[in-house]
Homo-oligomer: A and B are copies of this chain.
Amino acid sequence: MTDRVIPEPQRRRRRPTKQGVVLSAELIVDTAIRLIGQHGADALTVRRLGAALGADPSAVYRYFHSTDDLLLAVADDLIGQAQHGWQPTGDWRADLRAIGLRIHAAYQAHPQAALLAAHRTTGRAHETAAVETILGILRTAGFPDPEAVRVYHAFVDQSLGFAALDAAALALPAPAAAADLQVWQASYARLDATTHPHIAATAELLTGDMRRSGYPYALDLLLDAAEARLRAASHDAAGRSHAAGGDDSAGDVHDG
């Protein structure tokens, strides 16, 4: 059997399962998300999903080609969730910060799906809308196009990178997650000060900080640097009509 899936809009017959449930792709996706949220990432198996649905596990294959296909469908929901209800304020820095935090939060909410989604380019409506929004914020703020594109790239990939990293931590099987957390308290907090003086000196700060995501701070650093480059670019443009463009590192803010 090469393919037992019929696209959702073409479905006509809805037949209840033995336990009286009427299946649909949406119901299966929702149930999968609920399963992951309630019992952890490793709770998502086709057999358990079938049980949670009140259907034979193999019925899922009438709606999705594979578990990967199902997870991508879950992921597709995510992109929309990150943008849902957002409104621009006109302050480019505040807007970018809000978008970054929303992306991060949306992926944290469904880490298992985030792991698959973070590194794919879909080209679908939600994604292109986000790209357009972010680019628009940067260009309207006054970033020259080449710089806007570079900042866009850094911003998006940093957001997705952190999202995937933090999601991966959340998506770990329970014992592995516990082990990772223990490492900081059990291992790093007890390293010898003679062999690891810097860790020993900051152990308490470290264990406190590593509990949290490093993303908000890293995001602020990125926005700091972008703002500095924006100022340098506009000073350049205002002060001189002939060339003197911001070089690679934009090191010098040669103005008052």
On A, residues with C-beta under 8 Å from B are: 68, 118-123, 128, 131-132, 135-136, 139, 145-146, 148-154, 156-158, 160-162, 164-165, 168-169, 172-173, 175-176, 179-180, 183-184, 186-188, 191, 196-199, 201-202, 205-206, 209-210, 213-215, 217-218, 220-222, 224-226, 228-229, 248-250
Q: B218–A121 contact, CB under 8 A?
A: no
With contact pairs A149-B209, A224-B228 given, residues A217 and B249 touching in the complex (Cβ less than 8 Å): yes
- Given the interface pairs A146-B205, A249-B217, the reply to whether A123 lies near B187 with Cβ below 8 Å is yes
Check if A145 sits within 8 Å of B205, measured CB to CB: yes
In the A-B complex, the 10 residue pairs with the closest CB atoms: A161-B161, A119-B168, A123-B183, A123-B187, A221-B225, A154-B218, A135-B198, A224-B225, A153-B214, A157-B214
**Which residues of B are found within 8 Å of A175, using beta-carbon distances?**
68
Asked if residues B217 and A153 are in contact (CB atoms below 8 Å), the reply is: yes
- Report the separation of the CA atoms of residues A169 and B199 in the bound assembly, to the nearest whole angstrom: 34
Copies in the complex: 2
Q: Are A221 and B220 in contact (CB under 8 A)?
A: no
Tell which of B121, B146, B158, B220 touches A158, judged by Cβ atoms closer than 8 Å: B158
Closest B residue to A160 by CB, please name it: B165
Residues of chain B with a CB closer than 8 A to A179's CB: 68
Q: Say how far A113's CB is from chain B's closest CB, in angstroms.
A: 14
Q: Are the CB atoms of A221 and B226 closer together than 8 Å?
A: yes
Contact present for A165 and B154 (CB under 8 Å):
no
Flag if B210 contacts A153 (CB, 8 Å): yes
Inter-chain CA distance A149–B229, complex, in Å, is 25
- Given the contacts A119-B169, A149-B209, A222-B222, A214 and B131 also touching, CB distance less than 8 Å: no
Residue numbers in B under 8 Å from A165 (CB-CB): 118-119, 157, 160-161, 164
Q: List 15 A-B contacts (CB under 8 A).
A: A119-B164, A131-B188, A132-B199, A136-B197, A136-B198, A145-B201, A153-B214, A156-B214, A161-B162, A164-B164, A164-B168, A222-B225, A224-B224, A224-B228, A225-B228
